[in-house]
Chains A and B, each alone.
Chain A
């Protein structure tokens, strides 16, 4: 019984699910708009990562409806017109004490976005955000389809250890 509770019931109870504010399709934007990851998820001049694009980036194209779906119309009415930022939940959100530099991983290390973010870039919809009720972080960063994979320090450490870049705690903590 304990085994059943632990393996089956516990995960259901531990996580609370909420959908993302807008059901954004990466696939449509990649195919039809010819957008690559860095077109919307860009670096600023000082090397910092801009993260989720702000509403003005979407408004560049979607100031007026480009398709016929009701979802797009709702998006324009709810967010673009009133200039309101959607409250995206970032699956890979790190704790406050972590200093993660996208620039260091993308530029000198030349890592592909998919290495940590999986096939998000070719997905058709945004999966619901499963939040761990106790810790407050996402159950899955959607790195590997099928296996829920949280973003733990061990993942960073294993890759860093392999590359011989393990100097000090404060390399990644702030």
Chain B
């Protein structure tokens, strides 16, 4: 935000997601909702109006049996690093990109609910609170104190489990570690994935497994042609998955994407 900041070693938190390992179980979706106090679906919620900070999409190669192949792709906020679309369009400056961590942070308390950012996001990774959150009686006891519940009328999205980042920073401060170093923590989806498909780490740290995986040739990002420089890398040995991620023009190949 200002140029006169203290010298810190900036992190760029990102992920590598192995699409070949994802079995579409949805553990990440559920764990994310638990960590971030996302309420269960309202009466009127559908897959267009739901709140799923991370959502697993089922995609296929458009062929018929026996050549049909299916894959599952978890998609959350891609934390675009270049000309972040949602940051640009917000009239309230309720979103910003943190130079110290690379996280695109949404401030629901500042949001006025115009949903311009939802239109701007090329990944459909932003979700609107159409209704006030409601939990069944007693279930509010299970809310996570590290994250604020939102009211209706505001947009929310993945922030790479910033509540866990806060806790890690606090523990590092208490342990006397220097506050110029990035902290080590794991978001809920990466922790919950039973097949280990989601890996999280600092892309700026060349020694981290995530940075090494992201640098490999078979890693790709969604909609690379838009040059948003997202921090979520995907890996797959299947060429047709890479093609879907690049989203060619309709008709260029016979594909049915269940999005």
| Most chain A beta-carbon neighbours within 10 Å: one of B103, B163, B174 | B174
Q: Which residues of A contact B (CB under 8 A)?
A: 43, 46-48, 96-97, 99, 101, 103-104, 107-108, 161, 163-171, 173-174
The list of the 6 closest CB pairs from A to B, nearest first, reads: A47-B174, A168-B98, A170-B105, A164-B6, A103-B174, A104-B173
Task: Give the Cβ gap from A126 to chain B, nearest Cβ, in Å.
Answer: 26
A174 to B108, CA, bound (A): 9
Known A-B contacts A47-B171, A167-B100; A174 and B2 likewise in contact (beta carbons under 8 Å): no
In the complex, the answer to whether A101 meets B109 with C-beta atoms within 8 Å is no
Q: Are A163 and B6 in contact (CB under 8 A)?
A: yes
For A47, the chain B residues whose CB sits under 8 A away are: 170-175
State which of B96, B105, B109, B169 has its C-beta within 8 Å of the C-beta of A104: B169
Q: When the two chains form the complex, which single residue of A46, A101, A168 contacts B169, counting CB atoms closer than 8 Å?
A: A101
Chain B 64-103 near chain A by CB (<8 Å), digits 1 or 0:
0000000000000000000000000000000011111101
Chain B interface bracket (under 10, 10 to 19, 20 to 34, 35 or more) = 35 or more
Q: List, sorted by A's number, 18 A–B pairs whose CB atoms are closer than 8 Å.
A: A43-B174, A46-B167, A46-B174, A47-B170, A97-B148, A99-B166, A101-B166, A103-B174, A104-B169, A108-B173, A108-B178, A167-B5, A167-B99, A168-B99, A169-B96, A173-B105, A173-B107, A174-B162
CB distance from B164 to the nearest CB of A (A): 10
A164 vs B2: C-alpha distance in the bound complex, in angstroms?
8
Contact indicator A108/B179 (Cβ below 8 Å): yes
Q: Which residue of A lies closest to B4 (CB)?
A: A164
Task: Write the chain B residue with the least CB distance to A173.
Answer: B107
Task: Establish whether residues B173 and A101, one from each chain, have CB atoms under 8 Å apart when the complex forms.
Answer: yes
Of A96, A107, A166, A171, which is within 8 A of B173 by CB? A107
State the total of A-B contacts with C-beta under 8 angstroms: 88
| Cβ-defined contact, B101 with A168, below 8 A | yes
Residues of A contacting B98 in the complex (Cβ-Cβ under 8 angstroms):
167-168, 170-171
- B103 / chain A contacts, CB cutoff of 8 Å: 168, 170
Whether the Cβ atoms of A165 and B5 lie closer than 8 Å is yes
Q: How far is it, in angstroms, between the C-alpha of A168 and the C-alpha of B160 when the chains are bound?
A: 14
- Tell me which of B100, B110, B166, B172 contacts A174 (CB under 8 A): B166
Nearest chain A CB to B8 CB, angstrom units = 8
State A47–B171 Cα separation when bound (angstroms). 5
- Determine the chain B residues whose CB is within 8 A of the CB of A108 once the complex forms: 173, 176, 178-179
In this assembly, does B207 line the interface, its C-beta being within 8 Å of a C-beta of chain A?
no
A104–B159 Cα distance when bound, in Å, is: 21
Chain A residues with CB below 8 A from B167, complex form: 46, 48
Do B107 and A167 touch across chains, with their CB atoms under 8 A apart?
no
Q: A103-B170, A161-B2 are in contact. List 13 more A-B contacts (CB 8 A).
A: A43-B174, A101-B166, A101-B169, A103-B171, A104-B173, A107-B174, A107-B176, A108-B176, A164-B2, A166-B1, A167-B101, A169-B105, A170-B159
B107 near A169 with CB under 8 A, answer: yes
| Complex: A170 Cα to B158 Cα, angstroms | 12
Q: How far is the CB of A105 from chain B (nearest CB, A)?
A: 8
CA A108 to CA B148, docked complex, whole Å: 26
User: Digit string of B103-124 for contact with A (CB within 8 Å is 1, else 0)?
Assistant: 1010111100000000000000
In the complex, B147 has a CB within 8 A of chain A: yes
In the docked arrangement, what's the CA distance between A43 and B5, Å? 28
CA distance A43 to B174 in the complex (A): 8
Cα A168 to Cα B10 in complex, Å, equals 12
A104 in contact with B170 given A170-B105, A170-B107, A171-B98 (CB within 8 Å)? yes
What is the CB-to-nearest-CB distance from A170 to chain B, in angstroms, rounded to a whole number?
4
**Residues of chain A within 8 A of B170, CB atoms compared:** 46-48, 101, 103-104
A43 to B175, CA, bound (A): 11
Q: B146 at the A/B interface (Cβ < 8 Å)?
A: yes
B148→A174 contact, CB < 8 A? yes
